[in-house]
Amino acid sequence: MTKPLPSSDPAALLAAVLQANEGTANPRLKQVMAAVIRHLHALAVEVDLTPDELQVALDFLVAVGQATGPRKHEGILLADILGLATLVQLRSARHALEAGGTEPALVGPFWRANQPVRANGSTICDPATPGPRLRVTGRVTDLQGTPLAGARVETWQASPQGMYENQDPEQVSMNLRGRLETDAEGRFSFVSVRPAGYPVPIDGPCGALLAAQRRKVMRPAHLHFIAAAEGYKVLATQFFDIEDPNAFEDVVFGAVGSLLRRFEPDGEGGFTLHVELKLERGETRLPHCPLP
C-alpha cells in the first residue's frame, strides 16, 4: 500500500513526484523530466510561488502557444529572450570551440524553407532594395582548415530598414535570402546590402514580458548562416556589425566575441565581410526550420 503524503513536507512531495517519473521508458526523457521536476519544485520553494502566480505562468505558456503559427514561433522567441537558445547552442558546440571551430549563434524564428538557390558571386537582393552594398565572401572548412567543397550554405538577413522580407510589404518574396554551394576550395560569395538592427517581435506575450522586465528589445545588425556538409555537424551562426549601437546589448544574447565584426569599407561606398565557417565532424542534421 502507498503511504499517504505528509501534507506539509516539500521534500517528501518532491520524492513522490520523482518516484512517479521512475517508470518512464525512454531513459533520456526520464532524466530530463526528473531535472524539470527538481528545478520547478526548487523554484516554487525559492520564490514562495502563490497559486495565483502559478496560474499567471500557465496562462503565459498558453499565450505563447496561441501566438505561434506558420508565420511566427513565439516559443522560439521565448527560448531566445531567456538566453536558453544561446546557452544550448554554445554547449552543444563546446568541443568544436575548444578545437577552433566557429562560434555558433541561435537560428532564430526567421529562417525559411526553400530559400532560393543563388550562384556564387550573384546578388541575393532585389535591385530595388536601397542601401549600401555589402559583398560577402566565405569559406567552409573542417577544424583543421581543409576546405569542404559542395557544402550547403544558407543565409538570410534583414534589410537596411531592419525588416525581414516576410515582415515587409515593400520587399519582394525571398529578398535577402539565399542558398549557395561551396566551390572546390570551399568558397562561396554573394552581394547584398548592409543590414540594420531590428527589434524582436513584441506583439505577443514575449513582448509583454520584455516590457515588464524593462528590457531593450533590439538585436544588433547581423547576417545569419547555416553551413551543412556531409559527415560534419551543421553550424548555425550569425555575424554582427560591431559598429551597431546595440552590438553589446543583443536582446537574445547571441552576439558573442568572435562573431562581432567590422564591415570593411570597400572605397566605393560599399562594404565587405569575410566569414570562415569551421565545422566539426559528426552527424549532419539541419535544425528545425521555423518558417515555410
Residues in touch with ligand BEZ (CB under 6 A) = 77, 80, 106, 108-110, 200, 219, 252
Order of strands across the sheet that contains 260-261: 177-181, 152-157, 222-228, 235-241, 260-261
Q: What are phi and psi of 53, to 5 degrees?
A: -65, -35
> What is the smallest separation between the CB atom of 121 and ligand BEZ, expressed in angstroms?
25
Q: How far apart are CA 125 and CA 238, in angstroms?
A: 18
- The residue (of 142 and 244) whose beta carbon lies closer to ligand BEZ is 244
Residue 19 C-alpha cell reads as: 518516484
> What is the smallest separation between the CB atom of 119 and ligand BEZ, expressed in angstroms?
25
Q: How far apart are CA 77 and CA 87, in angstroms?
A: 14
Q: Which residues contact 210 (CB under 8 A, 6 or more apart)?
A: 81, 200, 202, 217, 251
> What is the smallest separation between the CB atom of 77 and ligand BEZ, expressed in angstroms?
5
- The residue (of 106 and 235) whose beta carbon lies closer to ligand BEZ is 106
Q: How many C-beta neighbours within 10 Å does residue 72 have?
A: 19
> What is the smallest separation between the CB atom of 15 and ligand BEZ, expressed in angstroms?
39
- The residue (of 49 and 286) whose beta carbon lies closer to ligand BEZ is 286
> What is the smallest separation between the CB atom of 95 and ligand BEZ, expressed in angstroms?
25
- The residue (of 80 and 142) whose beta carbon lies closer to ligand BEZ is 80
- The residue (of 259 and 277) whose beta carbon lies closer to ligand BEZ is 259
DSSP 210-233: HHHTT---EE--EEEEEEE-TTB-
Residue 274 C-alpha cell reads as: 569575410
DSSP secondary structure code for residue 165 in this structure? G
How far does CA 234 lie from the centroid of its chain? 13
- The residue (of 77 and 151) whose beta carbon lies closer to ligand BEZ is 77
Residue 110 C-alpha cell reads as: 526567421
> What is the smallest separation between the CB atom of 257 and ligand BEZ, expressed in angstroms?
17
Q: Which residues contact 265 (CB under 8 A, 6 or more apart)?
A: 271
Please identify the residue of the shown chain whose CB is closest to the bound ligand BEZ: 108
Determine contact, residues 274/94, Cβ cutoff 8 Å.
no
- The residue (of 83 and 147) whose beta carbon lies closer to ligand BEZ is 83
